[in-house]
Amino acid sequence: MQLSGLLKTNRELSAFADDVREGLSQQGQKQLPCQYFYDDVGSALYEAITVLPEYGLTRADTRLIRRLAPELAERFEVPVAVAELGSGTGAKTWRILESLARRAPVAYYPIDLSASALARCAQEMAAFADVHPIAESYFNGLRQAVCARLPGQSLLVLFLGSTIGNFVRIDAQDFLHQVRACLMPGDALLLGTDLVKPLARLLPAYDDPAGVTAAFNRNLLARINRELDGNFALRNFAHEVRWNRLHRRIEMHLRSLKTQRVSIRAAGFECELRKDETIWTESCHKFHAEEVREMAVAAGFDCPAQWLDETWAFTESLLTA
């Protein structure tokens, strides 16, 4: 057991090192994959971001789930299994599970790469469902959940919080195609998407005055230092947020404040950064509500219901196979 865990950790560190080497070796725009934001420190910082007054996305998501959960439960023939992609601790999901469980017992498959988040999820969601945590990537985990469900059991897949906005649009469309390929007629996907809104509201959500998002962004470099023996000096990087009008996305960058050379020993790599050169760390694409419906149809779904938040432009869309 211990050896297996160690090997998995070594594989994860090797993949991390490979991704960092590849992203920082690119000609032109250097990049780092946003999935590496979420170590223990990054996850704690993100939780702090979600309660900032400037960041309305998570509260909108929560309001809509509270509103739609009873109606959603009525739309499914029982029994129902629920699979959540990138579940984390499942903090927003309990209302859906509770509404479904009023009609019949629910099997819940939270899918996440964080073992600690899954352990907490299993503990907290046990009151509402029979929980089967899956420590896997999205589609490996979804395939396991599909194989595990009982005959005659409908499957509801949750992808909340506008995580789909981290994909470039062509990859978001491909993601929906892949989810649809895993599902049977009558199954469904509940998809959260953040919508286009005035920049006066949008930009502060990713560049808050308290500097929490800046700390979250820089922590990616701190994680490289901790886990890959890097020597990034965090004070040499500024958090920078841009709105890409053409692609309707927020971009987060780390801008080098000086010409510098950084060593990442576990990756066997050195990186040179010019003054004002940036490392692109995240994209957050914003959608129009009708665009979500069009993407759903193109992927082989219907969209029989869509809930809109009136305070913060955000939507939950029910996509049925």
Dihedral sign for Cα atoms in the order 66, 70, 72, 78: positive
CATH label, 57-197+288-320, candidates 1.10.10.10, 1.10.645.10, 3.40.1790.10, 3.40.50.150 = 3.40.50.150
Q: Give the model's pLDDT for residue 12.
A: 82
Residues 6+ apart with CB under 8 A from 172: 164, 165, 285, 295
Cα angle 112, 231, 15; round to 5: 35
pLDDT at residue 168, as a whole number: 93
Residue of 252, 159, 250 lying closest to 196 (CA atoms): 250
Q: How far is CA 252 from the centre of its chain?
A: 15
pLDDT on residue 11: 81
Helices 2-24 and 212-228: angle between axes, nearest 10 degrees? 110
Containing 84, the helix (H) or strand (E) segment is strand 80-85
- Contact (Cβ atoms closer than 8 angstroms) between residue 206 and residue 252: yes
Positions of the chain with pLDDT under 70 = 1-8
pLDDT of residue 3: 42
What's residue 40's pLDDT? 83
For 141-182, write each residue's pLDDT tens digit. 999 999 999 988 999 999 999 999 999 999 999 999 999 999
pLDDT at 4 (0 to 100): 38
Check residue 6 and give its pLDDT. Answer: 46
Residue with tokens 């991390």: 16
Q: How far is CA 262 from the centre of its chain?
A: 29
